[in-house]
Amino acid sequence: MIKKTVSIIGGGVSGISAALQCEIEHIDYTLIEKLHLGGMIKYANSINNVPFIDKGINGNDITTLLKKRMKDLEKNIVYNKVIDVKFKENSFYISLLSGEIFISKYLIWATGSIPVNPDFFIPKECENKIFYYPDLDVDNIDNKVIVYGGGDIAFDYALTLRKTINNISIYCRNKIKANRSLINEVVEKDIKYNELSEISKLSFKKEMIDISFKNGISIKTNYLVIAIGRKPNNELINSMIDNRKLFRIGDANNDFRQLVCASSDGIKAIMEISQRENNGC
Ligand SMILES: Cc1cc2nc3c(=O)[nH]c(=O)nc-3n(C[C@H](O)[C@H](O)[C@H](O)COP(=O)(O)OP(=O)(O)OC[C@H]3O[C@@H](n4cnc5c(N)ncnc54)[C@H](O)[C@@H]3O)c2cc1C
């Protein structure tokens, strides 16, 4: 068992910001990440609301910057999935898929968000043609891709996909909710969007997904990307949400999911821990 003052779960922008602040405050910590450093930001097409980085930088470039920033801190990073968290004897017991257990006085929960599942049935044959992120490996640029959703993320995914695929359209259940800049960019890139188009049924015919909408329309597509919303990834800690030594940060805590908010959450949580430790409480 490994004992630290702070365990940070999740190596996205919020978790990385917490780790960097631990370095400044000289607090011992472990950061546990199940996949790769950087988290969700790698999917962003173009970031324009962070004042201290170049306008229009894309998510992959930010991920590269984050990985570079963490290069010298690898000794504090464990690449594995957290599968269970318990609070006993005034400490958090964090179990990993590998079987290892980490114990810490404070827990920083920086696990981001997970996609909301659709309420229509997904036939088994369609499963490998349906995605929740824009990382399709499409060999033919003329394949048809439908993005389902009307918010910023759906529009951003469509723009990312448009870089490698010609035939993208967006369908959404209600009215579009994406911000005006994204709508303008989608129109500029010749991506058609369709409002009031709620999916009622999917079937699989001749290697294509057949989508029926409640408005009576039916279309065929090679791939479907579902982006109808995201929710905080808090399942493992729901029972201890009021624990004063647990800090939920970034997208795991915020309804408005933004880089600067995620980063400031991470910094604030560690500053508070440092203050408590210095005051002996
Ligand atoms: C398409 C898109 C476009 C965006 N555009 C912008 C923009 O223009 N401007 C802006 O400010 N923000 C934008 N955002 C939002 C921004 O990316 C997020 O707010 C921010 O990256 C959230 O960081 P996070 O650390 O809270 O979560 P995440 O980045 O989701 O990181 C969570 C990490 O936790 C890990 N994890 C989860 N569960 C476990 C587990 N059980 N064990 C171990 N590790 C785990 C995940 O693998 C992941 O690496 C965009 C997001 C998307 C998806």
15 and 83 in a single domain? The answer is yes
**Do 87 and 133 have their domain in common?**
no
Kindly state whether residues 110 and 6 are assigned to the same domain.
yes
| Cα 112 to averaged position of ligand 1 atoms, centre (Å) | 5
Residue 89 CA to ligand 1 center (angstroms) comes to 32
Residues 8 and 86 in one domain: yes
Q: What is the atom index within ligand 1 of the atom nearest the CA of 111?
A: 34
CATH value at residue 259 = 3.50.50.60
State the residue range of the domain holding 77.
2-114+231-278
Same domain, 132 and 210: yes
The structure's pTM equals 0.95
pLDDT truncated to tens, each residue of the chain (281 aa)? 778 999 999 999 999 999 999 999 999 999 999 999 999 999 999 999 999 999 999 999 999 999 999 999 999 999 999 999 999 999 999 999 999 999 999 999 999 999 999 999 999 999 999 999 998 888 788 899 999 999 999 999 999 999 999 999 999 999 999 999 999 999 999 999 999 999 999 999 988 999 999 999 999 999 999 999 999 999 999 999 999 999 999 999 998 999 999 999 999 999 999 999 999 87
User: Is the CB–ligand 1 distance for residue 251 below 6 Å?
Assistant: yes
10 plus 94 within the same structural domain: yes
Q: Are residues 16 and 86 part of one domain?
A: yes
Residues 108 and 236 in one domain: yes
Whether ligand 1 lies within 6 angstroms of the CB of 259 is answered as: yes
Q: Do 93 and 132 belong together in one domain?
A: no
Q: Are 7 and 101 in contact (CB under 8 A)?
A: no
Same domain, 110 and 238: yes
What is the number of the ligand 1 atom nearest to the C-alpha of 50? 11
Residues 98 and 235 in one domain: yes
Q: State the total domains in the chain.
A: 2
Angle at CA 67, nearest 5°, toward 105 and 101? Answer: 30
